[in-house]
Structure 1
Amino acid sequence: MVTGYAIEARGLRKSYGEVAVLESVDLSVERGTMFALLGPNGAGKTTTVRILSTLLEADGGTVTVNGHDLNGSKRKVREQIGLTGQDTAVDELLTGRENLEMMARLFHLSPAAAKARATELLGQFDLVDAATRQVKTYSGGMRRRLDLAISLITTPPVLFLDEPTTGLDPRSRSAMWDAIRQLLDGGTTILLTTQYLDEADQLADRIAVIDKGRVVAEGTAAELKRRVGTERLKLTFGTAVEADRAHTVVDGVLLDAAVSIAVEHPEHVRRVLNQVADAGLEPTGVELSAPTLDDVFHTLTSTAGEK
């Protein structure tokens, strides 16, 4: 039965001896969207991806990918997916084109079709100028783009990206983001694990926070931020006396050696500023801040060490 979800997992469990890596993990990823898994090292993110992409057997639970039951037919699931792991899977002695054409032939494309697909992917991932160079001469960002291109030889409807930008410089990360956005625009469903919280914030439609093998929170980036805090208006004054007077005017909390006040969830910032001004006070600094995914991460996770 085909549902609105490209990936559905229910009750995923995995243990190594007495160490439980996953404990009843549930995930639902809508078609054509990006779903990000966040969590500390060892929280179970990569284990989840390895199970969903057929590389690892779960101890329990069910998985369907694009309507195909993982327990019923791994082969059919593999026909639906692509995977870019944490380490690049390219042959450094071959050129970029040779890597792509070799993988295309392994997917049973004809020589002519393999060449055409390689040409298409080299252009899509801005590797045309480096196509005839050995991969050992590529930068880290170029290798990751080639690795992503290889995973798309057969244009799978579902793509797993396990920390695809780890170790890349900001320019290479930005190029990878652009490539990922193009895939999303084309209707590809993507499940992403990442150590970069801004990556999930920028790209993901929904985010699950996983810790100690369990999903501890799920929602949009905005929903998760609201869960851990609200906007805060911080007003700084020249003296503690002024800050204390402002504290009596508005409902705030004294901060920073009593020279600043914080107003949580200021629905009307201008009203607060007007109240302070009407009291004859002028702040030396005004700062409006909101919770970030960093706040979400640190509030909701506590795992230490690898699993």
Structure 2
Amino acid sequence: MKLLSVIALPDRVKARFESSFSLVEGRLEDAVHLQPDAILCSIRPYRFDRVVIETLPASVKMIATYSVGHDHIDLEAAAARRIAVFNTPGVLSDAVADAAMLLMLGAARRATESIALLREKRWTGWTPDQLIGSELGGKTLGILGMGEIGRRVAQRARAFGMNIAYHNRRAVAEEQALFHPDPHALIAQSDVVLLAWPSTPETRQFIAAKTLALAKSSMILLNVGRGDLVNDEDLIDALKEGRILAAGLDVFDNEPNLHPGYLDLPNAFLLPHIGSSTWEARLAMADILVEAMETHDAGGRPVNRIA
């Protein structure tokens, strides 16, 4: 099978695809003359909307997105063209959960200020009042979106002695975790709030002035879900005015053009969307897509087929 990759791949990941397919790296526009059987994409730089999908050559039978998120693909349009779509669920959950803990610790222990103090050569030595942060033990972690990533974060947070609460569309079988049917009540009662939601009409811009007004002044907000879950202006104002304690963010609206207001906030701990950036996750993402495309080509139904 000929596979057109419209994203840049690490060499080890590229080799995995090359072991199973005739891999060509190029632009989406190249599909017309390359006539690939499948296209490998991700959340950037292309959006596979209805117009794009309808203009793909007839040779294209599969779209494999190197991501869990798939809001960049019009699934209905793909189904209408009988193009199978696959994503990478589950295999990056541990990597993202690790990153969530990094965000939590970085925000709680004032890592942005600490790193700046050292790198700018302003540190004059230990003092009792230097950069006092917060411990995690005994605090309540409220998780908005108790999917696979939410569960993995809960597992790690329990090891830090945290209490777990969550909101989901429905209660899940999660031991020692308190279900909140109302996400607003969860925010009001949590010391740390983790956004692990997908981007949907119901979740977009959920974190805004009204919801932030419910939070404790000591609350820490974390986002490993989607950037558009947050109203940037409202969150920046809340951080500036001390209405919440801190934020740890790995995803941003309009990436890579994050709101410049975050950059000057000492209580914002920021990462450049590295949640799944481990070799273990990257190779597992390739494996699950290779297996899906081979299974589909052989007439099977891959478990990660979403259209």
Q: TM-score, normalised by structure 1?
A: 0.27
Larger Rg: 1
The structure carrying a bigger strand percent of its residues is: 1
The TM-score, its normalising length taken from structure 2, stands at 0.27
